[in-house]
Amino acid sequence: MTPNVKPSLLFVCTGNICRSPLAEGVFLDLAEKAGRADAFVVDSAGTGGWHEGELPDPRSRAVARAHGFDISNQRARKIRASDFQTFSLILAMDRGNLAQLNQMSRSASSAQIVLFNDFTIGLSKDVPDPYYGGPGGFEDVYDMLVAGCQSLISRLS
C-alpha cells in the first residue's frame, strides 16, 4: 500500500511580500475553514531575494486581517533549488514569474510549475503586482486569490 502523500504547494511572486504570502494565507485560511488544514504542505517564495527575512507588505497584512486571518508569522524568502524537488505544485502569480521558474528549474524539477489563474480557474491572466499601487489593488488581488484558492482546494480534494 502506498502511503498518503500530502499535496505540497508553493506560491511564488517576485519579492515574496505581496501576492505569494497573501496567497499562502488565503489558501491556509480556506483549508482550515474546510476542515482540511492538515491536508496540505504550503509555503511561499519569491523569484528575487531583495526582501529576504522581511514581513509581508503592511498592505497585504492589513487585507489578511480585514478578512479574518493573520500572515504576520511569514517571512520573505527566495526560491531555492531544492524547492523544485520538495513541492509537487509551484504556482506562479504572473507570466514573468512563470518564465523565471521554468528557467530556474532547468528540467530538474519534479514539481508541476503553473500560472496560478490558468491552473486554478482556467483563466490565462496574471495576478497583478499591487506593490506600486494603493490598498485597492491589494483587495483586488485578495479577491482573485480567494477564487483561485477555492478552486484549488476543490481540485485537490
Q: Is 61 a catalytic residue?
A: no
Marked catalytic residue, from 77, 83, 129, 149: 129
Q: Is 149 a catalytic residue?
A: no
Question: What is d(CA 44, CA 46) in angstroms, rounded to the nearest whole number?
Answer: 7
Q: Which uninterrupted H or E stretch holds 26?
A: helix 19-33
In eight-state DSSP terms, residue 38 is G
129 is catalytic: yes
**In this structure, are residues 47 and 94 in contact, taking their beta carbons and an 8 Å threshold?**
no
Which of the following is catalytic: 19, 59, 61, 77?
19
Q: Which residues of 87-107 are buried (b: 16+ CB within 10 A; e: fewer)?
A: bbbbbbbbeebbebbeebbee
Q: What amino acid positions are annotated as catalytic residues?
A: 13, 19, 129
